[in-house]
Each structure stands twice: as C-alpha cells, then as structure tokens.
Amino acid sequence: MPMYDYQCASCGHQLEAIQKISADPLVDCPACQAPELKKMLSMPGFRLSGTGWYETDFKTGTKKNLAGGDKAD
C-alpha cells in the first residue's frame, strides 16, 4: 500500500498515512481538527508485505538463474 505525506494548511502539522490507492484523501488535521490537510508532493513509497518476491518465483527451466551462474555457450 502506498504511503502519502500530508501537511495542514492551517497549523503546519505534517503526517504520513498508509492508504489504498482508491481511498479518498485525508481532509481533517489530527492536530487542530481543521479540514485543511493537503497531499504533499513527495517521493512515492510503498510497503510490501508477505514472504517476499524472488527472481525465480515465476521462471522455469534455464531461465531461473538470470543473475549469473552457468551460461550457455
């Protein structure tokens, strides 16, 4: 899920929020309760959860070792 940065135009409070892409943006500031939160332009961040993804997860046969190892001559 993506992480978004917000800043309150009223009091200047900043926060990060983990939200679904389809979720409506936050509006109410948790510090001053004003409906002045605005999304900040920032480097996108997201969190992967689970056991992990690997290069070899969906490859078969000789395609499994792309990073090195035996090369076909």
Residue-level pLDDT at 41: 81
Residue-level pLDDT at 59: 63
What's the fold here for domain 1-44? Rubrerythrin, domain 2 (2.20.28)
The predicted-structure confidence for 12-67, as pLDDT tens digits, reads as follows 999 999 988 899 999 999 999 999 999 998 776 666 666 666 665 666 666 655 55
CB 46 within 8 A of CB 2: yes
Q: What dihedral angle (degrees, nearest 10) is formed by the CA atoms of 36, 2, 20, 28?
A: -10
Mean pLDDT of the chain: 79
Read off the pTM. 0.57
The residue ranges of every structural domain in the chain are: 1-44
Residue-level pLDDT at 31: 96
